[in-house]
Amino acid sequence: MGTTEFIVAGILPEIAGDLEVSVASAGLMITVVAVGMIVGTPTMSILTLKLPRRLTLSLALVVFAAGHVVVALTSDFTLILGARFLTALATGAFWAVAAVVGAKAAGAASASRALGVVLGGGMLANVVGVPLGAFAGQVIGWRGPFWALAVLALAGAVVVYRLVPVGPESGPTPSVRAELASMRDMRVWLVLAGCAIVCGSSLAAYSFISPLLTENTGMAASVVPLVLVAYGVGAFIGSNLGGHFGSHHPYPALFVSAGITFLVLGALSLFSHYAVVTVVLIFLLGLFGMATNPILIGKAVGYAGHAPTLASALSTSAFNLGTAVGSWIAGYALESALGATGPVLVGASIAALYFLPLTLLMLKDGKQASLAE
């Protein structure tokens, strides 16, 4: 599921050429997934609230597989976007429930660390899935990876159904009213704002990394998958380290990651014509840009108390709202006079906004702690 959203980033030129659309238009295959997850994640979390969680997870994987089969079979760009939207609904339902299952299994004290492991699966997609898919797409055609993802999803559905506990879990019966009531805490909304900004900044740049590398840095298209591995390794390490440090020192981890992400994007806009520097900066973008995700989701789930499913779902929606808006603006910047540097500048501009919700969240947590004493 982590692979499917951004595999397109590594094979944009191949997709655009085969479907006879512009590279910016092909980028809509990323944007439409983000939009589908924005709308679908909270909706699906409510619709499946009373289903056993293992059933929700397994059904989501089956629908995910079906969407990929459609993409692999058709050349109608509108139908492809529709299938990607369907895939997004399934992905959103999966992630919302998976985050809750992971956090609850580990307990409140280790929720951020557990979410670092869960989200590490998504980050592992950037180490293995996206680069391997990009390489396969260049060698056997861009449809091949979509067939592979469909088969893997069906296999995953079987494994998840067999291994995730049936339940029921201890605690209150799931309730839509309780889920909505959990959203009254303003801190949840500040976390959601942070989630949107995190992905809006990093993924505005990452969504159009292929043109940046081939046009600015002068790399051959065949090298792009290797650079995506560097980003993926950074994201995988960052997600796990963020979850680890976030369990004990959440705000230092959040502010350090935010500051370095902003600096990395600024440096990338200046030095993207230098290959070695660009690769290092892309690694650092993955490392620090993705380090905050488990901390933010852990906080949202924690603030929601005994009704965390909607808060978890909206965290996923917020991440994808940032991705959709960031990649949409970045697409316009790509076609402007800024060229391939445009998306990186868009990312840096969005990253500068991150400190506002973080500061307000820290102040509100401090006030809440004072009242509790």
pLDDT along the chain (373 residues), means of 10: 80 85 84 82 82 89 95 92 92 82 71 73 76 82 92 94 71 71 87 91 86 90 83 86 82 93 94 93 92 86 78 83 86 89 93 93 83 63
> Could you report the per-residue pLDDT of 296-338, keeping only the tens digit for each?
888 887 887 777 778 878 887 888 788 888 888 998 899 888 8
Host domain of residue 180: 2-372
Q: Provide the CATH number for the domain around residue 263.
A: 1.20.1250.20
Helices and strands per DSSP (H, E), number in the chain: 19, 0
User: What's the domain count of the chain?
Assistant: 1
Q: Determine the angle formed by the axes of helices 275-289 and 250-271, rounding to 10 degrees.
A: 160
Instruction: Name the token pair of 118.
Output: 């869960």
- DSSP class of residue 266 equals H
> Could you report the per-residue pLDDT of 81-127, keeping only the tens digit for each?
999 999 998 988 888 788 777 777 776 667 667 777 777 777 777 67
Q: For the beta carbon of residue 154, count every other beta carbon within 10 angstroms.
A: 16
Listed residue (34, 38, 91, 92) closest to 61, CA to CA: 91
**Angle made by CA atoms 63, 208, 232, in degrees to the nearest 5:** 70
d(CA 91, CA 40): 9
Listed residue (349, 314, 340, 346) closest to 327, CA to CA: 346
Contact 326, 218 (CB under 8 A): no
Q: Which residues contact 165 (CB under 8 A, 6 or more apart)?
A: 54
- The alpha-carbon radius of gyration of the chain (Å, integer) is 20
d(CA 110, CA 238): 17
